């Protein structure tokens, strides 16, 4: 296994800058998620690490070895594609064995390695089936077995679960985490699914327009996003704007909002974010004191989703959202004036 280091990497396609001076360190044995909207550069970064593209600037090392000019076959990297790219005319065994056969390993070793890989992904006994005889989840496991069977130093996954339905995807997230932990391989995966990135990753990097906007542990990114973009892309967030007034923010519409986060100079304009699940909807005014914030709003709609409720609210011309657990009590009905209450520590100061 190996640490992967990307330093000052840029990549252009004609005049389009797909990556712009990106630097990230992928720890040995870690599970790292690359998250961002379409066109953010996450798949380009994965292809540069794999050796399918070469950077215009910057350095890429695997295990301390410079690889930015090495072809893909010399990088000792396994890659699983979004489409799985299985050979339809080959059975499961031959699909998984393909890379080993190309490397001309002895037949006995190929049988041993393929057997181990199929047992790891829990497909033992399905060696003779062809891809069309497998479910979507089983095809995904075959593709994963093929990517790890030659024991690469690094595993790259491009939207590995996007072709599966929600129920299968949730199950495979658990399995993928288990397999990665068992083999201890440095894993980098691309996803557009925020929940998937938070669930699987040890660390997450958020890209936008070819730049790394923020990276860190999933909880740190979610609890303390640096920008409004990260706050709204990595989950939901209510954004409020105002002017710094002492140790609080005077919102544009008048109320004072408190935070425990450091603030810029008095008179500075700031944006704050509040996660919807951190807000309590109360029909009456609270006497919560300086540790909490309180804001008046009106319920527009209460959306039932089984184990939870989503309140859509308005305050003047501003739309707000609150998530609440379904406790069995009747939800607050539409057109009801309410108070929104949250802790000062849940007011996150972000870049606009």
What pLDDT, in 10s, does the model give residues 219-269? Answer: 999 999 999 999 999 989 999 999 999 889 999 988 999 999 999 999 999
Residue 34, Cβ neighbours under 10 Å: how many? 28
Of 284, 269, 267, 290, the closest CA to residue 340 belongs to: 284
| Mean pLDDT, residues 144-165 taken together | 87
- Whole-angstrom Cα distance, residue 249 to residue 251? 6
Position 136 scores a pLDDT of: 84
- Whole-angstrom Cα distance, residue 46 to residue 18? 12
- Whole-angstrom Cα distance, residue 291 to residue 80? 49
Residue-wise burial string across 6-16, b where 16 or more C-beta atoms lie within 10 A, e elsewhere: beebbbeeeee
DSSP 241-273: EEEEETTEEEETTS-EEE-SS---STT-EEEEE
Comma-separated ranges of CATH 2.40.50.100 domains in the chain: 236-350
Are 130 and 146 in contact by the 8 Å Cβ rule? The answer is: no
- Whole-angstrom Cα distance, residue 144 to residue 172? 11
Which two three-digit tokens encode residue 28? 């040995």
Position 64 scores a pLDDT of: 94
- Whole-angstrom Cα distance, residue 144 to residue 10? 29
| Mean pLDDT, residues 282-287 taken together | 67
Position 9 scores a pLDDT of: 98
Are 142 and 127 in contact by the 8 Å Cβ rule? The answer is: no
Of 271, 199, 188, 281, the closest CA to residue 235 belongs to: 199
Residue 108, Cβ neighbours under 10 Å: how many? 8
Is the pLDDT at 289 greater than 70? The verdict is no
Residue 287 pLDDT grade (very low, low, confident, very high; cuts 50, 70, 90):
low
Comma-separated ranges of CATH 3.40.50.300 domains in the chain: 4-228
| Mean pLDDT, residues 290-301 taken together | 89
Q: Element (H or E) spanning 229, and its range?
A: helix 228-233
- 131 three-state secondary structure: helix
What pLDDT, in 10s, does the model give residues 204-221? Answer: 999 999 999 999 999 999
| Mean pLDDT, residues 25-32 taken together | 95
- Whole-angstrom Cα distance, residue 64 to residue 43? 23
Is the pLDDT at 288 greater than 60? The verdict is no
- Whole-angstrom Cα distance, residue 251 to residue 152? 54
Q: Which CATH architecture has domain 236-350?
A: Beta Barrel (2.40)
Are 273 and 348 in contact by the 8 Å Cβ rule? The answer is: yes
Position 290 scores a pLDDT of: 60
| Mean pLDDT, residues 134-154 taken together | 90
| Mean pLDDT, residues 77-102 taken together | 90
Position 286 scores a pLDDT of: 55
Position 308 scores a pLDDT of: 87
Fold entry, domain 4-228: Rossmann fold (3.40.50)
Of 210, 239, 206, the closest CA to residue 221 belongs to: 206
Return the beta strands (E) in the chain as ranges: 4-13, 16-26, 31-35, 57-62, 65-66, 77-80, 154-158, 186-191, 203-208, 211-216, 238-245, 248-251, 256-258, 269-274, 280-282, 292-304, 308-315, 318-325, 337-343, 348-350
Position 107 scores a pLDDT of: 94
In sequence order, which residues have a C-beta less than 8 Å from that of residue 85 and are 6 or more positions away? 143
Residue 285 pLDDT grade (very low, low, confident, very high; cuts 50, 70, 90):
low
Of 169, 186, 108, 180, the closest CA to residue 144 belongs to: 180
Residue 36 pLDDT grade (very low, low, confident, very high; cuts 50, 70, 90):
very high
In sequence order, which residues have a C-beta less than 8 Å from that of residue 302 and are 6 or more positions away? 309, 310, 311, 312, 331, 332, 333, 334
């Amino acid at each position: 296994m190996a640490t992967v280091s990307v330093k000052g990497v840029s990549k252009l396609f004609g005049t389009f800058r797909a990556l712009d001076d990106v630097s990230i360190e992928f720890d040995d044995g870690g599970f790292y998620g690359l998250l961002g909207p379409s066109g953010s550069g996450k798949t380009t970064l994965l292809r540069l690490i794999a050796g399918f593209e070469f950077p215009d600037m910057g350095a890429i090392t695997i295990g301390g070895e410079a690889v930015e000019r090495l072809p893909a076959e010399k990088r000792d990297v396994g890659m699983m594609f979004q489409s799985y790219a299985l050979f339809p005319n080959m059975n499961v065994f031959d699909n998984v064995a393909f890379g080993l056969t190309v490397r001309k390993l002895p037949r006995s070793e190929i049988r041993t390695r393929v057997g181990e890989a199929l047992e790891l992904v829990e497909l033992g006994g399905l060696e003779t089936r062809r891809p069309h005889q497998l479910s979507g989840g089983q095809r995904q496991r075959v593709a994963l077995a093929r990517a790890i069977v030659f024991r690469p130093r690094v595993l790259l996954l491009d939207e590995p679960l996007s072709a599966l339905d929600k129920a299968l995807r949730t199950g495979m997230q658990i399995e993928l985490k288990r397999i990665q932990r068992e083999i201890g391989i440095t894993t980098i995966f691309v996803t557009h699914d925020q929940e998937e990135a938070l669930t699987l990753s040890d660390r997450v990097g958020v890209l936008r327009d070819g730049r790394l906007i923020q990276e860190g542990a999933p909880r740190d990114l979610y609890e303390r996003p640096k920008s409004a973009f990260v706050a709204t892309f990595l989950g939901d967030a209510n954004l409020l704007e105002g002017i710094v007034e002492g140790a609080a923010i005077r919102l544009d519409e008048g109320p004072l909002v408190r935070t425990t986060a450091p603030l810029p100079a008095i008179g500075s304009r700031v944006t704050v974010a509040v996660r919807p699940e951190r807000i309590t909807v109360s029909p009456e005014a609270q006497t919560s004191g300086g540790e909490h914030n309180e804001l008046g709003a009106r319920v527009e709609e209460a959306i039932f989703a089984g184990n939870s409720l989503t309140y859509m609210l308005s305050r003047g011309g501003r739309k707000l959202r609150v998530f609440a657990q379904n406790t069995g009590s009747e939800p607050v009905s539409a057109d009801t004036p309410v108070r929104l209450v949250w802790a000062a520590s849940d007011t996150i100061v972000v870049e606009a």
